[in-house]
């Protein structure tokens, strides 16, 4: 295999650039060529390719976002679109592909593998909702970004007898909210995976207020309801002045943490080397601190579970 391509797809996440750099530099190290594909699968269909030599990936290690841009491609969901993509790759002499993205992107990667194009996935999403890896690229940065914002709110909450409801990202999975809740010492966390009793929550809030707890923090995953909806539902909180904060897209941006830079560098190098030794249809994972490969299908067929230990900690330590 002499020429390997790399693309980023789906939502961007901090650390994607470090993964791109690692794929490109591993190619150079092994005497291979690396091609960057612009705007995910859309660029694959359009043949929007750019050579990634050593210098092209210089100075991007700590930059947020992705230099290759990312997109959602409806055309790639069709057989016709995928065939065009494949012929564009063949015309450009591309013999293997690294796909950096979430479970949707891995669906696409698997279809390319089935069409005979060697493909390896790297999990890049701030949601951490991909089975087959302990962490996805961008998750640690997003947790730290959200934590910093929450800690500022905590300071003002304690000065005013306030209840803060902070809505964080997590449409279908509660990994980010749960980690933020433990790290911020939040009193409650509301995640999509667990049923929510508003009555119960109100009762606990009233008890907290009676016990003279000056502030209370609820970390809410956006997938459950909006923070404003929750505020409306929490009718009787026993005297807390409820305030709402929606962290939104700030959680996606920013420079990656050292953890994400190291994880992305390891995953990028491992993905490129795996392609070079003939592996395909697999995703890279970090399991118990070691690089692993597992079937791409795991990303969408297997549910990754929240840590019961962390859930208990929120309950125990509040
Ligand atoms: P994130 O969840 O972080 O946004 P993701 O990779 O899951 O990342 P998606 O929007 O689900 O993001 O997928 C990205 C792209 O992958 C889609 O725009 C589409 O081009 C391709 N894709 C997703 N699912 C499929 C599928 N079933 N078949 C073919 N291509 C797909």
Domain that holds residue 212: 140-253
- Both 54 and 133 in one domain: the answer is yes
Q: Calculate mean pLDDT across residues 202-217.
A: 86
Q: Which of 23, 24, 84, 22 is nearest to 48 (CA)?
A: 84
The β-bridge partners of 162 are: 241
- Residue range 120-132, pLDDT digits in tens: 999 999 999 999 9
Does the beta carbon of 75 sit less than 6 angstroms from any atom of ligand 1? no
pLDDT at 157 over 70: no
Q: Which of 114, 12, 26, 136 is nearest to 63 (CA)?
A: 12
- Both 45 and 27 in one domain: the answer is yes
Does the beta carbon of 132 sit less than 6 angstroms from any atom of ligand 1? no
**Active-site residue, 91 included:** no
Q: Number of structural domains, the chain?
A: 2
Model confidence band, residue 91 (pLDDT cutoffs 50, 70, 90): very high
Pairing assessment for the beta strands 282-287 and 290-295 based on DSSP bridges: antiparallel
Q: What CATH number has the domain bearing residue 151?
A: 3.40.50.460
DSSP code at position 94: -
- Residue range 51-80, pLDDT digits in tens: 999 999 999 999 999 999 999 999 999 999
Angle at CA of residue 23, ends 125 and 99, nearest 5°: 45
- Residue range 158-197, pLDDT digits in tens: 677 788 999 999 999 999 999 999 999 999 999 999 999 9
Does the beta carbon of 174 sit less than 6 angstroms from any atom of ligand 1? no
Q: How far is the CA of 285 from the centre of ligand 1 (A)?
A: 19
- Both 101 and 76 in one domain: the answer is yes
- Both 7 and 91 in one domain: the answer is yes
Q: Calculate mean pLDDT across residues 285-311.
A: 97
The better pLDDT of the pair 157, 273 is held by: 273
Q: Calculate mean pLDDT across residues 93-100.
A: 98
- Both 159 and 205 in one domain: the answer is yes
Instruction: Order the strands of the 290-295 sheet from edge to edge.
Output: 49-51, 33-37, 3-8, 96-101, 119-123, 282-287, 290-295
- Both 25 and 128 in one domain: the answer is yes
> To the nearest whole percent, how much of the chain has pLDDT over 70?
99
pLDDT of residue 240: 83
The answer to whether position 310 is within a domain reads no
């Amino acid at each position: 295999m002499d020429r390997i391509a790399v693309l980023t797809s789906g939502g961007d996440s901090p650390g994607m650039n470090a993964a791109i750099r690692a794929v490109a530099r591993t190619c150079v190290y092994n005497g291979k060529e690396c091609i960057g594909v612009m705007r995910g699968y859309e660029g694959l269909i359009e043949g929007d390719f750019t050579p990634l030599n050593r210098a092209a990936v210089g100075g991007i290690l700590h930059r947020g976002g992705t230099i290759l841009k990312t997109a959602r491609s409806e055309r790639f969901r069709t057989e016709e679109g995928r065939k065009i993509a494949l012929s564009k790759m063949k015309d450009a002499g591309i013999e293997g592909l690294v796909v950096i993205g979430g479970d949707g992107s891995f669906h696409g990667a698997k279809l390319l593998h089935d069409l005979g194009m060697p493909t390896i996935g790297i999990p890049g999403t701030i949601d951490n909702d991909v089975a087959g890896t302990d962490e996805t690229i961008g998750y640690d940065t997003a947790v730290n970004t959200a934590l910093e914002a929450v800690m500022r709110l905590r300071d003002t909450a304690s000065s005013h007898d306030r209840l803060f409801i902070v809505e964080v990202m997590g449409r279908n999975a509660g990994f980010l909210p749960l980690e933020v809740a433990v790290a911020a010492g939040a009193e409650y966390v509301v995640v999509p995976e667990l049923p929510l009793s508003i009555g119960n929550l109100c009762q606990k809030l009233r008890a907290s207020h009676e016990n003279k707890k000056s502030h209370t923090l609820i970390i809410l995953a956006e997938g459950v309801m909006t923070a404003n909806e929750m505020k409306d539902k929490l009718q009787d909180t026993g005297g807390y002045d409820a305030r709402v904060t929606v962290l939104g897209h700030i959680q996606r941006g920013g420079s990656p943490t050292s953890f994400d830079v190291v994880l992305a560098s390891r995953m990028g190098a491992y993905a490129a080397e795996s392609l070079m030794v003939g592996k395909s249809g697999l995703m890279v994972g970090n399991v118990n601190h070691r690089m692993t490969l597992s079937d791409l299908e795991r990303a969408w067929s297997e549910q990754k579970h929240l840590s019961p230990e962390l859930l208990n900690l929120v309950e125990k330590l509040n």
